[in-house]
């Protein structure tokens, strides 16, 4: 039998049994080709490995996301500090939760598990969003606490992840919450000083947790004084069972608001409570008929217009008639009173007589000059518009003279009173730290003589045994002030059972520097007050306790200390 020699280089399936030309060359080249392929593969894998190693070792400052997402929807904000540099507001990094619907495996599982951590989640909306696979980015919850974020992380949900954003934090909690204002979910200011920062100072749009490099915003507030004010108002609400309270501490020389509070307070980190009318800001955001504290302005007008002196005698024994209305004094002295006694006895009849003597034109012009007929404004926002009489006739003149028939914001009234007591020049209330030259355009509102006379009357009202402000005295600090008790109006009628009691004070009266204004809304009578709801029994002693706490913080030394220096 003939044997066939089939070479390794034969073509399979060929039946001729012949050798393939060049077979030896193919055998010689095969190892070379294999080596080249293996070397190329090793080189490729080495390059990929090196790149992965490089990426793994390179620090990542933020996550780059290959999905469609909002860009520059957050804002970095400057810090807010008090006048002494203590921190009131700052930005911090916080995790925000999002999902990529395209890689969510089981939307129902995602929703059901997230609700165990975020029970208020809108399940139907989230399911609908996760069902749209064309979307690559869906916000679920922004600004989570680290603890909540960790619980969600532990759920291990595919397609659900976090990114760091800036959130506003308030180290002092609810302290000065109304004044500081609030920000929205994008860290953009919506109220108070926070909104002022956006509108005037500026914020920076960012799409990552990038802290601001802007200088801190320094306020005129003093954290210590603010705390004392809020604490005393808290105590007053409990002690006199008030529905609310408000207070203000003002530097009458510079216009700086050193403290401002409204109770119930709000937490700037949770501003939704501000929607409730009971939590509304009262110092500048509300207008009220303030009652007899308004006699401060009436007496100052009479003195400044030359209509009377503190020694001028008025016969206040008979009530005043205004149409069908009769105006009388709550506690009649039964004798004529000097203008000084009209102030210290808080005589409605005497104040009405002074206003009638001035007449409507001079009364309106004086109030206009003091800024009480237009809305005031600070960096924290525009104050409420005053409510003025439709007519300025006999009845209106009399009631306005003792703080009824006209409603203004407490801030407006405080600024007007400060201008009367500071030597007679205008001030512009501010919540920013005073800068030299801010009041360069100050104008004279009353004479120095009128200012000095009113300061003496303030002090007399606290020192005199018959003065309505005697419970506001603080030994050593030369306090002066005026009471106000006004019936609150509801549905066009005055409610004799509901009053707003207030006390405006200044100290030290030999050189007035600071003004305080305390307001209690609907206080109740108690054993301590002898069943009374008048300001002399509640707002005045609250003022005394407040000044006793803050005077030293403000650098006012008691008279006994001054005398030994």
Token pair for residue 393?
A: 């006739």
Mean pLDDT of 338-348: 96
Residue of 182, 242, 260, 292 marked catalytic: 292
Question: How does pLDDT run across 526-565, given as a tens digit for each residue?
Answer: 988 999 999 999 999 999 999 999 999 999 999 875 544 4
Question: Among 154-158, 380-384, 435-439, where is mean pLDDT lowest?
Answer: 435-439
Q: Which residue has the higher pLDDT, 104 or 33?
A: 104
Reported confidence tier of residue 48, pLDDT bands at 50, 70, 90: low
> Which of these CATH numbers, 3.90.1310.10, 3.40.50.720, 3.40.640.10, 3.40.50.150, describes 74-101+138-217?
3.90.1310.10
Q: Verify whether residue 76 is a known catalytic residue.
A: no
Strand 160-169 versus strand 87-99 pairing type: antiparallel
Strand 320-322 versus strand 381-382 pairing type: unpaired
Coil, helix or strand at residue 426: coil
Question: How does pLDDT run across 54-86, given as a tens digit for each residue?
Answer: 545 544 444 444 444 444 478 999 999 999 999
Ordered by start, the domain boundaries in the chain are: 74-101+138-217, 223-564
What whole-number percentage of the chain has pLDDT above 90?
A: 74
Question: Shortest CA distance to 277 belongs to which of 521, 100, 560?
Answer: 521
pLDDT at 309 over 50: yes
CA distance 369 to 446: 10
* Cβ-count burial 105-114 (b if 16+ within 10 Å, e if not): eebeebbebb
CA distance 251 to 227: 17
Token pair for residue 362?
A: 């001079």
Question: How does pLDDT run across 372-419, given as a tens digit for each residue?
Answer: 999 888 898 877 899 999 999 999 999 999 999 999 999 999 999 999
Residue 516 β-bridge partners? 249, 505
Average pLDDT, the chain: 87
pLDDT at 5 over 80: no
Question: How does pLDDT run across 49-60, given as a tens digit for each residue?
Answer: 555 555 455 444
Sign of the Cα pseudo-torsion (502, 515, 342, 420, in order): negative
Reported confidence tier of residue 272, pLDDT bands at 50, 70, 90: confident
Reported confidence tier of residue 182, pLDDT bands at 50, 70, 90: very high
Reported confidence tier of residue 6, pLDDT bands at 50, 70, 90: very low
> Which of these CATH numbers, 3.30.110.70, 3.40.50.12640, 3.40.710.10, 1.10.490.10, describes 223-564?
3.40.710.10
CA-atom Rg of the chain in angstroms: 38
Write down the pLDDT at residue 489: 81
pLDDT at 293 over 80: yes
Question: How does pLDDT run across 113-147, given as a tens digit for each residue?
Answer: 999 999 999 999 999 999 998 899 999 999 898 99
Residue 75 β-bridge partners? 205
């Amino acid at each position: 039998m003939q044997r066939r020699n089939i070479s390794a280089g034969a073509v399979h399936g060929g039946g001729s049994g012949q050798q393939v030309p060049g077979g030896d060359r193919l055998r010689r080249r095969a190892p070379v080709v294999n080596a080249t392929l293996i070397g190329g593969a090793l080189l490729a894998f080495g390059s990929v490995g090196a790149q992965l190693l490089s990426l793994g070792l390179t620090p990542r400052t933020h996550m780059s996301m290959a999905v469609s997402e909002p860009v520059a929807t957050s804002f970095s904000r400057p810090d807010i500090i008090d006048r002494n540099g203590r921190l009131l507001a700052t930005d911090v990094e916080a995790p925000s939760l999002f999902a990529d619907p395209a890689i969510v495996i089981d939307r129902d599982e995602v929703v059901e598990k997230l609700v165990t951590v975020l029970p208020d989640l809108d399940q139907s909306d989230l399911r609908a969003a996760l069902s749209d696979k064309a979307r690559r980015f869906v916000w679920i919850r922004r600004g989570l606490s680290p603890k909540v974020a960790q619980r969600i992380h532990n759920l291990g949900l595919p397609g659900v992840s976090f990114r760091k954003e800036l959130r506003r934090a308030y180290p002092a909690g609810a302290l000065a919450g109304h004044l500081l204002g609030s920000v929205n979910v994008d860290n953009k200011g919506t109220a108070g000083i926070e909104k002022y920062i956006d509108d005037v100072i500026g914020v920076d749009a960012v799409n990552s947790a990038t802290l601001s490099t802007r200088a801190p915003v320094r306020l005129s507030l003093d954290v210590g004084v603010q705390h004392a004010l809020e604490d005393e108002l808290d105590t007053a609400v409990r002690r006199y069972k008030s529905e609310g309270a408000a207070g203000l501490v003002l530097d009458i020389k510079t216009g700086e608001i050193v403290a401002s509070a409204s109770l119930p307070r709000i937490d700037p980190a949770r501003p939704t409570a501000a929607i409730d009318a009971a939590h509304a800001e009262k110092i500048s955001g509300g207008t009220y008929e303030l009652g007899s504290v308004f006699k401060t302005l009436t007496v100052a007008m009479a003195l400044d217009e030359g209509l009377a002196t503190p020694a001028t005698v008025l016969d206040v024994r008979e009530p005043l008639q205004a149409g069908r209305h009769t105006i009388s004094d709550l506690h009649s002295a039964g004798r004529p009173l000097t203008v000084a006694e009209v102030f210290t006895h808080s005589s409605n009849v005497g104040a009405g007589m002074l206003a009638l003597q001035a007449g409507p034109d001079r009364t309106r012009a004086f109030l206009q000059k003091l800024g009480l007929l237009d809305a005031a404004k600070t960096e924290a926002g525009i104050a409420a518009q005053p409510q003025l009489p439709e007519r300025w006739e006999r009845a209106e003149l009399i009631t306005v003279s003792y703080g009824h028939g006209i409603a203004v914001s407490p801030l407006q009234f405080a600024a007007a009173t400060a201008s009367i007591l500071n030597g007679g020049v205008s001030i512009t209330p501010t919540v920013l730290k005073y800068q030299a030259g801010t009041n360069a355009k100050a104008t004279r509102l009353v004479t120095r003589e009128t200012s000095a006379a009113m300061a003496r009357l303030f002090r007399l009202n606290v020192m005199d045994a018959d003065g309505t402000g005697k419970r506001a005295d603080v030994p050593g600090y030369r306090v002066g002030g005026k009471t106000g008790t006004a019936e609150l109006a509801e549905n066009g009628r005055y409610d004799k059972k509901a009053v707003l009691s207030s006390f405006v004070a200044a100290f030290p009266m030999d050189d007035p520097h600071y003004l305080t204004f305390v307001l209690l809304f609907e206080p109740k009578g108690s054993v301590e007050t002898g069943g009374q709801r008048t300001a002399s029994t509640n707002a005045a002693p609250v003022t005394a306790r407040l000044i006793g706490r803050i005077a030293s913080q403000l650098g006012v030394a008691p008279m006994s200390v001054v005398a030994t220096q």
